[in-house]
Structure 1
C-alpha cells in the first residue's frame, strides 16, 4: 500500500481495512519518536516520512476507507488566525452538543487556538495530537465563541463516515463537484455526481484544499472525464507502473478544474492528467507541489514507518516539484476563483 498523510486526515477531520492500493500525499507532523519506526524515519532524511504506532496505523487504514473518529466538525482558519466552524455534519456528536457553523473555536481541551495552524485544531478535535489516537467514546472540551459569548461545550467523539465529495448547483448551467480527498470510493462518487448533473451543465471540479489520497481513486475520477488512456506513471523502488483511465468517460461536457496551494499529491496527479490531455482548463493558483509516493513498512515491534519509494509523472512525463503545477489561468489576489471558473466554463459552453 502506497499511503498518504492526506488520506490519514492530516488536514480534514475526516476514515476499514481493504486491499493494498497506491496512494500519494504529504505525511503528517509527528509529535514524538515511535520506537523502531521512529528510529528508521529519523535516519532516513525523508521529508515526507512518518512513523506510527500499530494503533495509529489502524486509524490510517480506517481513514483510507473513508471512516474516522471525530466530532463531525469541519473548520477553517481565517485571515486573522481564528479557527471557525465551517460545517457541522448532520446527526454528528457536534450537532447534538449544539455546535453551529460560524462558531469560533477559542480553545480545545484548554489549549488556545488563535494563531495555531488549522491542522493542529483538526488533530486535537480528532484526538490524534497525542502519542495514541483517542478512541470513539472519548470526549473533548471546546471553548466556543458565539456573538462575543464564550461557552464550554463537551463533545463526544464517534466513528463517522467521511463525505469526500459534495455537489452544489448555485448557478444555472454550472454543477460544482468538490472533492476533499481521495479515500476509497471517491472516484465512484465523482462519477455519480457527474452523471446526475443536468445535461446542459458544465462541471467545475473543485480540488482546492484536496490533500491527496489513493492514486487509484484519483485515476478513477480521471476515468469520468477521459475515454481511456494514460493518467500517470509512477515508480516503486525503480519498478515502473502506469495508471490508465477506463474507456467510456465523458469527453464532451465542458470542464474546469479549480486548484490552489492546498491541492496536493494525487489531486495534483489528476490535475496534471486532465491538463496534459487537454480535457480541462485549470483555474486557480499554483498547487502544493508533492510528486512522491510512500509505502508503509511494518517494523519488528509492530510500529509502521511510512517512507518515500518513488515519484509519479503526468502523461506528458512531467514530475511535480516543489513549485507545484501552474494553472492555465491564474487567479490573482482579491479575485473570486469560483466566479472566474464559472466565466471560463461559460466560454467553453459557448464554443461547443
Structure 2
C-alpha cells in the first residue's frame, strides 16, 4: 500500500450482501464481490496477477480470522473482474440470477441485446446446469463464477462458449450454447413517466455521476424521480457527483477511518429547486444509501419506497503475496445528520409496501410538491 495505493472506501461488499439477499448479477457488480466506493487503488499497488486465476488462500485466511461479515477475499482474476466492472463492462452472456427456495437458481434479469437475450432466455427461467455441472443447491457465488469463467477456474475470454441447461414453466427443458461477449451496462438512463423525468441509476460505475448531472440538465419535466431501487452501490466519488446534481455545495457524508473523521462535499451549482423524489427499496445499498440519506437529510428530496439494505461500513483492500486481495472493515460512514445506515438502512419518508405502486406514489408526492404532474 506504501507504493501509492489510494484509500478505497468499499461501501458495497456484495459477497456478504448476496448471502443475505440471494440476488446476484453476472456482470460482476453483484457477482465477484465488491464495487469500489472510493478512488481506485493505484495499479502498481497490486501484486502482479498470475496468467490463470488461482484460489485465494492467503486472503481467505485473513478474512476468516477477521470474523467480519463485510470482509471479502478475491483471487487475482476476481479482483481484476471487479476493476473492469467499474467501467460498466465485463465478459459474459448477460444474465442476472437469484437463488430461491430449495436452492433453485433462476434468471432474474436479462441484459438487452446480450447473447442470453438473443437466445430467448427470459426472467423466471430456471438454470439447471452450466457446462454439464448441476447448479441447484450450489452457492450463488459458485454459479456466477461458472458463468464468468471457463471450467470455473480461468477468467472467460471473449468468444468462449458456455452451455446452459434451463427449464421454463409450460415449455419444458432445453439447452442453449452461448458465446460470451464483451458487454456494457448503461448505468444511467433518462425516461419520462406521464410527466416527471425518471432518472434510473443502476450502479455507481465510473462516469455515472456526470451522467446523472447531464440527465438533470436535460430533464424537461416538472419534477424528477431518481430511481435507486436495486442499486448495489459503487464508486462513492460517483455517488457524491450525483448528489452534486441536486445540491449547492455542503456535506454529502462523513466517514471515520481508524478514528479520524473525514467529510465528502457536493460541488456548487446543483439544481436545488426542481421537485425531487428518490425511490429506494431493500436492494438499495451502500453508496446508493449514502446518496438517498444525504438528499433526505439535506431536505432536498422526499424518499419513497422500502427501507434500504443497511450497509454503511468502510473496507480497505490489502494485496497478499499470492496475488489475492483481502478487503477488511476499517470504519463507517454517516449521512449529514450523523445517521449510520449500517444495520438500519435509510427509512423512507413514505413507506410503500407494494413495489408496483412506488412510481405512482412518487408522482403523487411530486404533485403535492407543486410539480403539477
TM-score interval for Structure 1 and Structure 2 normalised by the shorter chain: 0.7 to 0.9
Name the structure 1 match of 2:312: 291
Name the structure 2 match of 1:88: 111
Q: For the residues of structure 1 that align with 2:355 and 2:204, how far apart are their CA atoms?
A: 29
Equivalent pair of 1:23/1:214 in contact (CA under 8 Å): yes
- Give 1:213-228 correspondences, 5 Å limit: 213-228=234-249
Name the structure 2 match of 1:104: 125
1:154 aligns to 2:170 (yes or no): no
Name the structure 2 match of 1:185: 207
- Give 1:250-269 correspondences, 5 Å limit: 250-269=271-290
TM-score, scaled relative to structure 2: 0.80
Alpha-carbon spacing, 1:64–1:350, altered in 2? closer, same or farther (3 Å): closer
How far apart are 1:155 and its partner, in Å? Answer: 0.9
SS of corresponding position for 1:225: coil
Name the structure 1 match of 2:44: none
Q: For the residues of structure 1 that align with 2:150 and 2:274, how far apart are their CA atoms?
A: 42
Deviates more, 1:210-219 or 1:328-337: 328-337
Equivalent pair of 1:88/1:100 in contact (CA under 8 Å): no
Deviations 1:187-232, CA, capped at 9 Å, x for gaps: 111122222221x331111111111111111100100111111000
How far apart are 1:43 and its partner, in Å? Answer: 0.7
Among residues 280, 302, 323, which one is paired with 1:302 in the alignment? 323
Name the structure 2 match of 1:64: 86
Deviates more, 1:336-345 or 1:3-12: 3-12
Deviates more, 1:259-268 or 1:339-348: 339-348
Equivalent pair of 1:34/1:51 in contact (CA under 8 Å): yes
Equivalent pair of 2:37/2:287 in contact (CA under 8 Å): no
Alpha-carbon spacing, 1:329–1:103, altered in 2? closer, same or farther (3 Å): closer
SS of corresponding position for 2:292: helix
Name the structure 2 match of 1:45: 67
Q: For the residues of structure 2 that align with 1:104 and 1:118, how far apart are their CA atoms?
A: 16
Equivalent pair of 1:172/1:201 in contact (CA under 8 Å): no
Q: Which runs of 5+ in 2 are unaligned?
A: 1-7, 19-23, 29-35, 41-53
TM-score, scaled relative to structure 1: 0.84
SS of corresponding position for 2:307: coil
Q: For the residues of structure 2 that align with 1:48 and 1:247, how far apart are their CA atoms?
A: 34
Alpha-carbon spacing, 1:279–1:118, altered in 2? closer, same or farther (3 Å): farther
Please report the RMSD computed on the Cα atoms of aligned residues, expressed in angstroms.
3.2
How far apart are 1:159 and its partner, in Å? Answer: 2.4
Deviations 1:289-340, CA, capped at 9 Å, x for gaps: 1110111101122211111111101111111131211100001247611211
Q: For the residues of structure 2 that align with 1:103 and 1:53, how far apart are their CA atoms?
A: 31
Name the structure 2 match of 1:245: 266
